[in-house]
Structure 1
Amino acid sequence: MAEKEEQPQGQKQLNIELDEQTAEGTYSNLAIINHSVSEFVVDFISVMPGRPKGKVKSRIILTPQHAKKFLKALNDNVKRFEDVHGHIKDYDQPPIPMNFGPTGEA
């Protein structure tokens, strides 16, 4: 009889499925965060040059506890990235709508 490998107590395996479309990702160059007593709402937006209107590409809703865990995980990953690739320069936030320069006319 084959023996089953025991996982340490309290640890369970989580299988995560990632479909092809989601794996491609969605580009965002602006995020707006709002919160209430029970949730954080993060809207990821794409703003294009010369356009006064952006489009929300994705909205993620988190509990306050998950928002804090996400903040810690993101901070840890930025630190690891900078340890390998150097400091990420922090630019001043341009006013909304963003001005990417002159727009073309036909």
Structure 2
Amino acid sequence: MEEQQNENQINIELSEEIAEGIFSNLAIITHSNTEFVVDFIRVMPGIPKAKVKSRIILTPEHAKRLMHAMQDNIEKFEATNGKIKMQEEAVGFPLNFGGPTAQA
């Protein structure tokens, strides 16, 4: 039984650099018949150019598993912390970050 349990385990390594994470406030998802591509982007106020900070490529099956895992985690988060409020965004990229507008 213990041997079978060890066979089902995977050792996952997380480097310090990756553990820091990358902030993203925009994700763009595209797909073909064989893969889903998720680009994570950081958009900054007042800067019309943004760079892709990370790209994840998934098989369709793994994309669906990720969707279910995200849905499950959001439901658990909302059960503990309350419903996540969604702001209605204008068509296009979310360049309005709220708060006061800077003036010189």
Same fold by TM-score greater than 0.5: yes
Question: Is 1:75 aligned to 2:71, yes or no?
Answer: yes
Once residues 78 and 13 of structure 2 are traced to their aligned partners in structure 1, the CA distance between those partners, rounded to angstroms, is: 29
- Two-structure CA RMSD over aligned residues (Å): 2.1
- 1:13-50 CA-to-partner distances (Å, cap 9, x unmatched) read 10000000000000000000000000000000000010
Kindly indicate whether the alpha-carbon contact (under 8 Å) linking 1:53 and 1:97 is maintained by their aligned counterparts in 2. Answer: no
Distance 1:104 1:44, change over 3 A: farther
Shift of 1:7: 4.7
Return the structure number with greater helix share.
2
Percentage of pairs with the same residue: 55
1:7-46 to structure 2, matched below 5 A, reads 7-8=3-4, 12-46=8-42
State the number of aligned residues: 101
Structure 1 unaligned spans of 5+: none
Greater RCO, 1 or 2 (C-alpha within 8 Å, sep 6+): 1
| Structure index of larger Rg | 1
Structure 2 unaligned spans of 5+: none
